[in-house]
Chains A and B, each alone.
Chain A
Amino acid sequence: DAKTTQPTSMDCAEGRAANLPCNHSTISGNEYVYWYRQIHSQGPQYIIHGLKNNETNEMASLIITEDRKSSTLILPHATLRDTAVYYCIVTGSNYKLTFGKGTLLTVNP
């Protein structure tokens, strides 16, 4: 699976959009981009995934660049409950997710 690079930490004001970047320059054509988050002491929670096109669901939007070498997760209106570690994962069909260190997003009042 391709390696990903994320900032170690980010801050966001409550009510504002949180934009979390991820670089995956070695992604191959059949690999998906997944985003999970982990709120302190809980199990990781699936957020969204995509292959080429931008995706949106009730939690977030995923913007993937045309060359697929990077992506951005957007939380449109961050709340205090969105404070968590966010993991960007690139994976093909090999049964495993490789979690890096992720980005600690802190939403401030």
Chain B
Amino acid sequence: DAGITQSPRHKVTETGTPVTLRCHQTENHRYMYWYRQDPGHGLRLIHYSYGVKDTDKGEVSDGYSVSRSKTEDFLLTLESATSSQTSVYFCAISDGPSGTDTQYFGPGTRLTVL
């Protein structure tokens, strides 16, 4: 399995609080991605990174920000969590763009916003 860890694995927080999820890789892959998964929607891309300090929005980026200061770490921040952000969050990595290289996924973080 690709060396991807996510922390925390589970978190319960209250509406309005800031939350940061961390994705860490040991594969030295250039691309990193954050997805969320909700019942009835499948996985949806939130943000992705194509290098250190290079990030871009996905299809459901509102309410989320990301940062990548090192190759191995990609942080997802919810500045002020809302109940609609209750979801399972998956990080993925790849060595190239999705059409030419495989994405490998982390174990996920289950976030509950009360």
Tally chain A residues at the interface, Cβ within 8 Å.
23
The listed residue (B48, B100, B103) touching A93 by CB distance below 8 A is B100
For the complex, give the distance between the alpha carbons of A13 and B45 in Å: 35
Residue of B44, B58, B99, B108 touching A92 (CB-CB under 8 A): B99
Q: How distant is B90 from chain A, measured CB to nearest CB, in Å?
A: 5
CB-based contact B43/A99 at 8 Å = yes
Contact across chains for B98 and A94 when beta carbons are under 8 A apart:
yes
Given A46-B103, A46-B104, A91-B98, does the pair A96, B45 have CB atoms closer than 8 Å?
yes
Residues in A lying within 8 Å of B, measured CB to CB: 30-32, 34, 41-46, 49, 87, 91-97, 99-102
> Which residues does B use to contact A, with CB under 8 Å?
31, 33, 42-45, 48, 50, 56, 58-59, 90, 92, 96-100, 102-108
